Amino acid sequence: MLFTVDAEGYSIEIGSLLDGSFDSLMIDNYSESKKIIVVDENTNEFCLDYLITNFDCLKEAEVIMIPAGEENKLLDICAQVWLTWDEYKITRSDVVVNLGGGMITDIGGFMASLYMRGIDFINIPTSLLSMVDASVGGKTGVDHGGIKNLIGVFSNPKAVFIDPLFLSTLPEGEFYSGFAEMLKHGLIVSPTHWYELSALNDVQQEINERHIYSSIVIKNEIVHQDPFEKDERKKLNFGHTIGHALESYFLEKDPISHGYAVILGVLCESFISFKRNYITMDEFSEIERVIVKHYQLIDLSSEDYTEIIRYMKSDKKNRNNKIFGVLLIGIGEAIINKEYTTNEITDAFDYLNRVYSELNN
- Structural domains of the chain ordered from first start: 3-169 (3.40.50.1970), 177-360 (1.20.1090.10)
**Which pLDDT value is given to residue 339?**
95
Q: What is the DSSP code (8-state) at residue 319?
A: B
44 Cβ contact list (under 8 Å, min separation 6): 63, 65
Residue 154, SS3 per DSSP:
strand
pLDDT at 45 over 90: yes
**Which pLDDT value is given to residue 147?**
82
For the chain, the helix, strand and coil percentages under 3-state DSSP, each to the nearest 5? 55, 20, 25
Rounded to whole angstroms, the Cα distance separating 70 from 85 reads: 22
Instruction: Tell me the pLDDT tens digit for each residue of 168-217.
Output: 988 888 889 999 999 999 999 999 999 999 999 999 999 999 999 999 99
Predicted structure pTM score: 0.90
**Which pLDDT value is given to residue 1?**
81
204 Cβ contact list (under 8 Å, min separation 6): 172, 175
**Which pLDDT value is given to residue 348?**
98
Strand (E) or helix (H) holding 263: helix 258-275
**Which pLDDT value is given to residue 92?**
96
pLDDT at 163 over 90: yes
- Range in 28-32, 138-142, 216-220, 224-228 the model is least confident about: 224-228
pLDDT at 82 over 80: yes
**Which pLDDT value is given to residue 256?**
92
pLDDT at 88 over 80: yes
Q: What is the mean pLDDT of the chain?
A: 95
Q: What is the mean pLDDT of residues 330-347?
A: 97
Q: Please return the burial class of 267, using the count of CB atoms within 10 Å of its CB with bins 0-12, 13-18 and 19+.
A: buried
Rounded to whole angstroms, the Cα distance separating 110 from 104 reads: 10
Residue 118, by phi and psi: left (phi above 0), alpha (psi -120 to 50) or beta? left
Provide the CB-side half-sphere exposure for 297 (13 A, CA). Answer: 25
Q: How far apart are the first and last CA of the chain?
A: 47
State the pLDDT confidence band at 361, using cuts at 50, 70 and 90.
confident
Question: 254 — phi, psi (to 5°)?
Answer: -150, 85
Q: What is the mean pLDDT of residues 102-130?
A: 97
Q: What is the mean pLDDT of residues 284-300?
A: 96
Q: What is the DSSP code (8-state) at residue 273?
A: H
Rounded to whole angstroms, the Cα distance separating 338 from 91 reads: 45
Instruction: Tell me the pLDDT tens digit for each residue of 254-283.
Output: 889 989 999 999 999 999 999 999 999 999
Strand (E) or helix (H) holding 148: strand 147-154
State the pLDDT confidence band at 97, using cuts at 50, 70 and 90.
very high
Instruction: Tell me the pLDDT tens digit for each residue of 3-28.
Output: 999 998 899 999 999 999 999 999 99
Distance of CA 14 to the CA centre of its chain: 17
Residue 99, SS3 per DSSP:
strand
126-152 per-residue burial string, b: 16 or more CB within 10 A, e: under 16: bbbbbbbbbbbbbbbbbbeeebbbeeb
285 Cβ contact list (under 8 Å, min separation 6): none
Q: Are 41 and 65 in contact (CB under 8 A)?
A: yes
Q: What is the mean pLDDT of residues 241-264?
A: 92
State the pLDDT confidence band at 304, using cuts at 50, 70 and 90.
very high
**Which pLDDT value is given to residue 96?**
98
From residue 226, how far is each of 184, 238, 278 by CA, in Å?
18, 16, 24
Q: What is the mean pLDDT of residues 52-78?
A: 95
Q: What is the DSSP code (8-state) at residue 130?
A: I
**Which pLDDT value is given to residue 18?**
96
